[in-house]
A = this chain, B = another copy of it.
Amino acid sequence: MKTLGTLGERETIRIIEKIIKSDATIGPGDDCAAIDIGNRYLLVTTDMMVTKAHIPKGMGPYDIGWSIVAVNLSDIAAMGGTPLGLVTAIGITRGHPIEFIEQMVDGMNDCARRFNTSIVGGDTKEHDDLVLCGTAFGEVAKDGILLRKGAKAGDLIAVTGSLGRAGSGFFSMKKALGLKEAEDALKRPWPRVREGMLLSKSGFVTSAMDISDGLSTSIFELSRNSGMTFEVDYTRIPKAKEVEMAFHDLERQKDLVLNFGDDYELLFTIKREAEDDLGKLSQECGCPMTVIGKVTSGEENILIDNGKREKLENLGYEHFRTRQP
């Protein structure tokens, strides 16, 4: 009997995507669904967080509330959208003190406010365990929508911010390393909403998604959707300063940067001739945007590390699959 445990999360989601009969212009499979509402698209995305898999022990109720909003806004950002609002559903035990829920809702409010939007409604149900479901919606101009497909050979690959910070925060909490900034980055992700809106308006972005599941997974997604291969230069990837404090071992550092995820930066491709424009846009919004490689029409995705070419493995975070010991 095939179960979700044997298939893994990604394969399960792919099966569901095949069954779903969506009427939307962009249905399941991108960061958001996009629905034609006349002169623009309505963007919608939903994300569920359950205690065990997604909530590290050091996270308090405020952080949890902040996060469920942030991860959904990140999906709106990845499509170049302007947020319109969010709804949040909360499954919670009858033993939770009311202060817990108040602080959690404060976190939701503050994150939404910080990105110029708000929580407009929700649902609350009794449950054995804490489970949160957030849904964000936004709007985007039809010619400004950023999709996972669209990259062409010759395009440049770029990322916002730096990678590996959230992962460093995770190991800092686990090993009590005291990397406070990194721990905060993990506990309260910062969606690239403003950056996504500016990239949408720029006209030079050919594809985009967020890096929540890790850079390697996101590279594979853009590559698969565009029918292209990606060549990433490891030395050019901007790394969070905490990465080398979390691990001395270079291979573990690399794993953190490429595969851990939870950074909520944007990965995107731009037209070859737009590198200077990207620099200007990066300055305008005060967020680093770095070219890390190029789109090719090769056989497989490649990682170049100090001149050595190797196959880029897809090792991002995945639920469900029974891990081999």
Contacts and interface: CB of A to CB of B under 8 A. Distances in A.
B85 A125 contact: no
A121 interface: yes
A249 interface: no
B4 A101 contact: yes
Chain A binding site: helix, strand, loop or mixed by DSSP? mixed
A22 B119 contact: yes
A1 B46 CA distance: 33
A5 interface: yes
Given A19-B102, A22-B120, A89-B47, A320 B126 contact: yes
A131 B120 contact: no
A230 interface: no
A62 to B, nearest CB: 12
Interface in A1-45: 1-5, 7, 9, 12-13, 15-16, 19-24, 27-28, 32-33, 35, 37, 42, 44-45
A42 B128 contact: no
Contacts of A44: 85, 87, 120-121, 135, 137
Contact of A87 (B118, B127, B135): B135
**Which of A23, A108, A117 has the largest number of chain B CB atoms within 10 A?**
A23
Contacts of A123: 46-48, 133
A108 B27 CA distance: 15
B16 A101 contact: yes
Contacts of A2: 97-98
Contact of A15 (B50, B92, B98, B121): B98
Nearest to A21: B109
A93 interface: yes
A96 interface: yes
Given A53-B125, A135-B87, A120 B16 contact: no
A4 to B, nearest CB: 5
A131 B50 CA distance: 10
Given A44-B87, A45-B121, A46-B135, 20 more contacts: A2-B98, A3-B98, A4-B94, A5-B94, A16-B101, A20-B118, A23-B118, A23-B120, A24-B85, A27-B120, A28-B119, A28-B121, A33-B120, A33-B121, A46-B123, A50-B91, A54-B125, A89-B133, A89-B135, A126-B320
B45 A87 contact: yes
B118 A9 contact: no
Interface of A: 1-5, 7, 9, 12-13, 15-16, 19-24, 27-28, 32-33, 35, 37, 42, 44-50, 52-54, 84-85, 87-98, 101-102, 105-106, 108-109, 113, 117-129, 131, 133, 135, 137, 139, 319-320, 322
A158 B216 CA distance: 58
A308 to B, nearest CB: 36
Given A98-B2, A129-B128, A109 B46 contact: no
Contacts of A33: 85, 87, 120-121
Contacts of A20: 105, 108-109, 118-119, 122
A12 B98 contact: yes
